[in-house]
Structure 1
Amino acid sequence: MINYISDHLKNNPLLVLDGAMATELEKHDIDTDSELWSAIALINNPEAIKEVHESYFKAGAKVATTNTYQANVEKFQQFGLNEAEAKKLIIKAVQLAQAAKAEFKADDLLVAGSIGPYGAYLADGSEYRGDYDLTITEFMDFHRQRMQLLNQANVDLFAFETQPNFEETKALAKLLKTEFPQKTAWMSFSIKDSQTLCDGTPLNEAVKYFNDDQQIAAIGVNCTKLENIEDTIVNIKKVTNKPIVVYPNNGDIYDPKTKTWQANPKTSSFKELVPKWIDAGASLIGGCCRTTPADIKEIAEFT
C-alpha cells in the first residue's frame, strides 16, 4: 500500500487539491442541470473535462479529482446508456484526468477517484442532510462497482467526499479495507456546522472512528462555507493526528431547493484565509463548489 498523501507531505507542508468541475464546465457551455450534474459531460463533451483538469494543474493543483462524484452505472443507464457503455464512461473519467496529468510530465501529480455519497445519487439535495437510511451492506453494494471501475483504471487514491452520513462512511472504509487493501482514501465529511455532520453525528466522534484506520490517509470536510473551515480544523485537530483536508465552497450562497447560487460580494478570498487554515493544522487544501483555477492559484502560492 502506497500512502501518496503521506509521501507528498514528507517534503511539502501543503498538498494543493483542485477546485470545482461543474463551474468550469459551464464555461464550456455545458448544461449541468441534470441528475448527472457534471458527469453529463462524460457523455457529451469529455474533452472539456480534460481541459478543466489541465487548468487546475496549471494553476498549481497537485491532485486531479475525477469527474465521478455523481457518476454511477445505474444513473447512466437511466439516461439511456447500456451497462457496458456506462462502465466505460467511469473508466473514461479516470483516463481524462490521467491524460491531463501526462501533459505536465511531473512525477508529483495525483489522480483521486471521486466517490460521492448515496445522497448525490438521489439528486435531491440529501448530501446536505444525510437523512437516508441504508444498512452497511446496502451502502457497500451501492459503492462497490464504481470503486472497482476506478481501481481498474488505476486511480492513485480515492476521495470519499461530501459525506453526510456516518454509517455510510463506515461502509466506505469497510469496503476499502476488505476489497481494496492496496488503496488509500481521504475521508471528507459534509457538515452542518463546525462540530456536526449533516446527519447529526458529532464531528469528533466521526473523526475518532477513523483515527486508527491506516487506509484513511486524511480526514476533513468539503462543500461548506468558508467561515466554517478554521473552527472545523481546530475541532478535528483535537482528536486526530492524521493530515487534515479542507476544500470549501467559494463563498457564494447555495439554495438546495432551487439548486441555484447567488454571488456573495462580501466573501473573503482564499489568499486571506489559507494562512489561517494552515496555522490551524490543515495540510490538504483545495476548493469545492464555485471555485476556479484562480482560487487554486491563490492556494498554491503558499506551497
Structure 2
Amino acid sequence: MTVFDQEKKVLVLDGGFGTTLEDVFHKDISTPLWSAKPIDEDPGLIINTHLAFLRAGADIILTSTYQCAFSTFEKAGYSREDAVRLMRKSVQLAVAAKALYLADRKDVLPHQVKIALSLGPFGATLSPAQEFGGYYPPPYGPGGSKDKGTNALNDDVEEERAIEALKEFHLERLRVFKEDEEAWNAIDFIAFETVPLTREIRAIRRAVATLQSEDPMWSKPYWISAVFPEGRFPEKDDTGQHVEIAKVVKALLEHDKDQIAAYPDGIGINCTSVEFLFPLVQGISKEIIQPTREQVERRPWLVLYPNGGDVYEPTTKSWIPQRNEKSWSDSFGGVVHEVVDAEIWPGIIVGGCCKTRPHDIYELSKIVKHSICKP
C-alpha cells in the first residue's frame, strides 16, 4: 500500500514552476540552477510560488530541484557543501508552503497535500540543456552524436557503461535527500522528469533499486515521466529513426536483464504539447494491456503533465509562442476524460509543465474535481 493507493483516483499536480517564476513573478532565473536559484537568494519566492499552485487546487507540489546537481551548483559558484544544504532546503521550503496553506484551509487535512521531489534528467545539467535531445557526452552517451543523427549506443558494453554512469548520477542526488531524515520524511513522491533516453530510464530504476536494497523500510512511491517533443521520443536508433513507444514502455516496466530494477509506481509523460498527448497515451496503454506481456505484480499509475504549448528553443533559451484554438485546460481536460473513461489505469496524476501557470492549474482542477471526478 502506497500513497498512490487512496480514495482519490485523480490527483492534481502543480504547473511549470520555473516558467511561473519568470512569467508570473517576473524573476530572472537564467543560471545553470534555473528554478533552484531562489532557494538561496529569495526563499520567500519559492514558498509563494508553491502557495500559488496549492491555492489553485493542486494536490501535489514539486520541489524546486529539477536542475539541482553538484555540477550545476558548481557552475553557479557554490561549494559541494552548499549544494547539499540548498537541495535539502528546497524540501524545507515546500514544507513551509504546505504548512501555510493548511493554516488557511482548515477543511484540508495534512495528508491531502503531497510533496514530490523533482529530479530532472542528466541532460538538464548540460549547456545547452539536452532533456529534449538526449545527446549526452561520454560515458553517458556516444558524444558528438548530434551531428551523426543518433544519440543511441549500439555497443552492449558501452550501453551498460552508460547506464551505470547515469545510475551513479541519479543515485548521488537521491542520497543527498535520503541521508537527511527530516527532508526524506517530508517527501511523499519522487518524480524523475523529462527523461529522453531508455538507458536513462533503466539507470533510474537501478538507482532506486539500490536505495531500496539498502533500506528495507523504503516507502517512497516514485514515477518516471518521459518527454516526447513533437510527439516523438528523442532517442534514435543507428539508422536515425526515433525509437518506438513500445521500447520506452519496456524500459519503464520490464525486468532489466540480470540487474535489479525497481518497478515504478507511476509512468507517464511531461513537458510535451497537449496536441500529441492522446495518441501517445493510447500507445502506452496498448503496451500496458498486452495479454502476452510479462507483467509484474501491479499496474502503475499514469502521470501526465504537458507543457503550455509553446516551443522551447534550447540554443537561444527562449520560448516560441504557439496559437491554440482551445484553452490549455479544455484541451488537456478532454484527454483526461478519455483516459479516465478507458478504466485502464488504477489512478492518474495530472498537472502542467513549462508555461503552465497557477490559473491553468485552477481551470484544470475545476474540470477534474467538478466534472471528471464529481460524486
Fold shared per TM-score above 0.5: yes
**What's 2:229 paired with?**
192
**What's 1:131 paired with?**
135
Is structure 2 residue 237 aligned with structure 1 residue 172? no
Say which of 265, 270, 274 aligns to 1:226.
274
Say which of 5, 20, 25 aligns to 1:24.
20
- Figure out how many residues of one structure are paired with residues of the other and give that number: 298
Matched residue type, 2:17: M
- Taking the aligned partners of 1:248 and 1:274, their CA distance within structure 2 comes to 8
- Taking the aligned partners of 2:229 and 2:53, their CA distance within structure 1 comes to 28
Considering only aligned residues, what root-mean-square deviation do their CA atoms show, in Å?
1.9
SS in 2 for 1:281: helix
Say which of 287, 298, 303 aligns to 2:352.
287
Alignment of 1:1-303 (within 5 A): 3-5=2-4, 7-8=5-6, 11-26=7-22, 27-105=24-102, 106=109, 107-132=111-136, 134=140, 135-151=162-178, 152=180, 153-154=183-184, 155-180=187-212, 181-194=218-231, 196-200=232-236, 201-211=243-253, 215-240=263-288, 241-281=299-339, 283-301=348-366, 302-303=368-369
Deviations 1:99-126 (A, max 9, x none): 1112233321111111101100013131
Matched residue type, 1:263: P
Q: Does the CA-based 8 Å contact 1:248-1:286 persist in structure 2?
A: yes
- Taking the aligned partners of 1:223 and 1:272, their CA distance within structure 2 comes to 17
- Taking the aligned partners of 1:191 and 1:126, their CA distance within structure 2 comes to 13
Larger radius of gyration: 2
- Taking the aligned partners of 1:173 and 1:82, their CA distance within structure 2 comes to 29
Deviates more, 1:208-217 or 1:35-44: 208-217
Deviates more, 1:53-62 or 1:210-219: 210-219
**Shift of residue 173 of structure 1?**
0.6
Deviates more, 1:135-144 or 1:91-100: 135-144
Q: 1:266 to 1:12 in 2, by over 3 A?
A: same
Q: Does the CA-based 8 Å contact 1:188-1:219 persist in structure 2?
A: yes
Q: Does the CA-based 8 Å contact 2:198-2:251 persist in structure 1?
A: no
Q: 1:139 to 1:235 in 2, by over 3 A?
A: same
Q: 1:291 to 1:275 in 2, by over 3 A?
A: closer
Percent identity over paired residues: 32
SS in 1 for 2:253: coil
Q: Does the CA-based 8 Å contact 2:229-2:273 persist in structure 1?
A: no
Q: Could you state the TM-score of these two structures normalised by the residue count of structure 2?
A: 0.75
Matched residue type, 1:159: A
Deviations 1:175-229 (A, max 9, x none): 10121443221110011354x4211332222213333676411111111112011
Q: Which runs of 5+ in 2 are unaligned?
A: 103-108, 141-161, 213-217, 237-242, 255-260, 289-298, 341-347, 370-375
- Taking the aligned partners of 2:324 and 2:75, their CA distance within structure 1 comes to 40
**Shift of residue 82 of structure 1?**
1.7
Q: Does the CA-based 8 Å contact 1:233-1:277 persist in structure 2?
A: no
- Taking the aligned partners of 2:278 and 2:86, their CA distance within structure 1 comes to 37
Matched residue type, 1:148: R
Deviates more, 1:246-255 or 1:290-299: 246-255
Q: Which runs of 5+ in 1 are unaligned?
A: none
Matched residue type, 2:112: D
Q: Could you state the TM-score of these two structures normalised by the residue count of structure 1?
A: 0.91
**Shift of residue 61 of structure 1?**
0.5
